[in-house]
């Protein structure tokens, strides 16, 4: 017989630990388990081991709402975040519920019994569990393989090629010439970190990215801690950062030229006089069409100013034995090339969903409040914001599940499903121009052109819609 739990969580990363902590705190009567494909918890923050790995959101919003972040850095390093996530798991007893090395392969819903039957691979054996509610907290990218374009001539390169997602623990780059291909959050993190030991680091980019320098330590939070208790100062700092980041995003959408000018002014000020900012730091798109990169205390600009790092904006023609030849004809010699070329998306960890014998085709489904799927009962998923901290949305999804479980228990309901509306026009799930999103749009669910099917990417709006919105809105259909 299969083991049965009330709630089965997929993934023991930031989202999964937060989800399970909510269940432990608010629904101690519920049984639950977490299936984690890897041998350890922590998700992203255990997987990525490259130099300087850190958050790309401030820790007052990347931290859980229910557990204050106690560190001083606003953009924290990966090991500190991993310790915070695991401390949360221990504090709420979540770690006792994790089944490691369990990679979920499929889940099948049966309406007669109102249960999910979930299969997972464990050391080559198939394991089966059943649950009343299935909650996918596995993120949306492929943990096994990052995005790696095929570069011409790469086999002729005599140096070492490394992808940040699979960083060798024994990689020695001290005194070496390093080329980092990319301009996103990973690249702007790697370049100043590697420049501390490398002979020189070059960030080779095809297209520039908007980069904003922020204080490594939040001075407002530091002062608040002197006059308020920990939870109070954390709440104020969290809301301050929510409002600032939301305001910057909204201003970017409404007045892109103004924000572009402000970002350029800050970049000019941070770099040496005469530096060609408009070649290397002037993207052809508007701010927040792609994610804005944050650098603590301008560390990237400082490395460039000190001569330890440089930026080259050009296209790759081919790899050579000694490095990379560019479309301009110039050649960058390198001992190590880091391909910080992005992620690959893998929805729900690649698991197949089946409802009453029919496979769920994700591109044909529509997401309800970006946390459930039309026609798929008792299934919730957590996907964070693209324009703000991931955890802000994860916390809201946990609040929704909390209310949904309570409501269903009070009314003796056994299942809930969002009912599709034929009058709602489909739209791409994410209105975001990042390469990893554009490459995978055809495999993602759709969003709609109106609430509650439309993804707002707005935390303040979602507080009303998700945390406080009606559970009897006419879209959710319950059954006993």
Q: Is the pLDDT of residue 344 over 90?
A: no
Tokens of 437: 């999103």
Residue 67 pLDDT exceeds 90: yes
95-135 pLDDT per residue, tens: 999 999 999 999 999 999 999 999 999 999 999 999 999 99
Instruction: Provide the pLDDT for residue 342.
Output: 83
Contact assessment for residue 135 and residue 9, using Cβ atoms and an 8 Å cutoff? yes
Question: Above 70 in pLDDT, residue 210?
Answer: yes
Tokens 């309570």 map to which residue?
Answer: 406
Q: Taking residues 444-468, what's their average pLDDT?
A: 92
**Residue found by looking up tokens 């980041």 in the block:** 245
CA dihedral 135, 452, 67, 78 (to 10 degrees): 70
Closest CA to 7 of 382, 360, 354: 382
* CA–CA gap between residue 309 and residue 79 (Å, rounded): 25
Q: Which helix (H) or strand (E) holds 126?
A: strand 125-136
pLDDT tens per residue across span 130-155: 999 999 999 888 888 888 888 999 99
pLDDT of 360 strictly over 80: yes
Tell me what percent of the residues of the chain surpass a pLDDT of 70: 98
pLDDT in tens, 405-437: 999 999 999 999 999 999 999 998 877 666 666
Alpha helices in 10-131 (DSSP H): 14-26, 44-47, 59-62, 78-91
Distant-in-sequence, close-in-space partners of 98: CB < 8 Å, separation ≥ 6: 12, 33, 34, 36, 41, 89
Q: What was the pLDDT predicted at 101?
A: 97
* Averaged pLDDT, 373-392: 94
**Can you give the pLDDT at residue 438?**
63
Alpha helices in 154-295 (DSSP H): 185-195, 219-227, 230-254, 256-270, 277-280
Predicted confidence band at 456 (pLDDT cuts at 50, 70, 90)? confident
SS3 330: coil
The pair of three-digit structure tokens given for residue 63, joined into one six-digit string: 């931290």
Mean of all residue pLDDT scores within the chain:
94
User: How large a percentage of the chain has pLDDT more than 90?
Assistant: 84
| H-assigned helices in 121-229 | 185-195, 219-227
pLDDT at 442 over 90: no
The pLDDT of residue 236 is above 70? yes
CA distances from 472 to 15, 154, 408 (A): 26, 57, 11
Helices (H) and strands (E) in the chain, counts: 13, 25
Residue position matching structure tokens 């296209």: 315
**pLDDT computed for residue 65 by the predictor:** 95
List C-alpha distances in Å: 164 to 145, 180, 296, 308. 10, 10, 20, 20
Virtual torsion, Cα 82, 86, 92, 94, nearest 10 deg: 120
Summarised one tens digit per residue, pLDDT across range 74-93 is: 899 999 999 999 999 999 99
What CA–CA distance (Å, rounded) separates 429 from 130? 29
Please count the CA atoms within 13 angstroms of the CA of 469 that sit on its side-chain side: 19
Residue recorded with tokens 């975001």? 432
Instruction: Assess whether the previous peptide bond of 233 is cis (omega < 30° from 0).
Output: no
pLDDT of residue 435: 64
Q: How far is residue 458's CA from residue 452's CA, in Å, rounded to a whole number?
A: 13
Mean pLDDT, residues 328-355: 92
């Amino acid at each position: 017989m299969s083991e049965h739990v009330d709630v089965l969580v997929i993934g023991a990363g930031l989202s999964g630990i937060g989800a399970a902590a909510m269940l432990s705190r608010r629904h101690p009567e519920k049984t639950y388990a977490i299936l984690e494909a890897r041998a350890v918890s922590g998700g992203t923050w255990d997987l990525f081991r490259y130099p300087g790995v850190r958050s790309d959101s401030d820790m007052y919003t990347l931290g859980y709402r229910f557990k204050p972040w106690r560190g001083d850095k606003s953009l924290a390093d990966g090991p500190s975040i991993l310790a915070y996530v695991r401390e949360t798991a221990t504090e709420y007893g979540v770690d006792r519920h994790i089944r490691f090395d369990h990679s979920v392969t499929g889940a099948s819903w049966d309406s007669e019994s109102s249960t999910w039957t979930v299969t997972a691979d464990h050391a080559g054996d198939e394991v089966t569990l059943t649950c009343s509610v299935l909650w996918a907290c596995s993120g949306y990218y492929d943990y096994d393989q990052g995005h790696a374009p095929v570069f011409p001539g790469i086999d002729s390169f005599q140096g070492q090629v490394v992808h940040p997602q699979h960083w060798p623990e024994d990689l020695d780059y001290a005194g070496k010439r390093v080329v980092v291909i990319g301009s996103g959050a990973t690249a702007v993190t790697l370049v100043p970190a590697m420049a501390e030991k490398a002979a020189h680091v070059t960030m080779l980019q095809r297209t520039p990215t908007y980069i904003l320098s922020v204080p490594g330590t939040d001075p407002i939070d530091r002062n608040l801690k002197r006059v308020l208790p920990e939870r109070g100062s954390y709440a104020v700092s969290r809301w301050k950062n929510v409002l600032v980041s939301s305001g910057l995003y909204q201003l970017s959408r409404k007045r892109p030229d103004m924000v572009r000018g402000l970002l350029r002014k800050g970049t000019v000020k941070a770099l040496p006089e005469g530096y060609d900012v408009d070649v290397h730091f002037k993207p052809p798109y508007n701010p927040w069409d792609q994610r804005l990169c944050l650098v603590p205390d301008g560390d990237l600009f400082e490395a460039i100013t000190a001569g330890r790092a440089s930026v080259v904006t050009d296209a790759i023609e081919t790899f050579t034995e000694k490095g990379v030849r560019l479309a301009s004809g110039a050649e960058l010699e390198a001992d190590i090339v880091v391909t910080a070329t992005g992620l690959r998306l893998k929805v729900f960890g690649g698991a197949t969903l089946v409802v009453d014998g029919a496979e769920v085709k994700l591109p044909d489904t529509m997401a309800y409040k970006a946390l459930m799927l039309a026609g798929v009962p008792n299934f919730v998923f957590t996907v964070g914001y693209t324009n703000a901290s991931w955890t802000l949305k994860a916390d809201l999804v946990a609040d929704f599940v909390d209310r949904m479980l309570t409501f269903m228990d009070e009314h003796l309901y056994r299942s809930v499903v969002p009912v599709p509306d034929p009058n709602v026009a489909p739209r791409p799930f994410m209105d975001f121009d990042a390469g990893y999103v554009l490459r995978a749009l055809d495999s993602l669910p759709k969003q709609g052109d109106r609430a509650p099917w439309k993804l707002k990417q707005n935390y303040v709006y979602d507080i009303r819609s998700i945390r406080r919105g009606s559970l009897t809105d006419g879209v959710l259909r319950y059954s006993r």
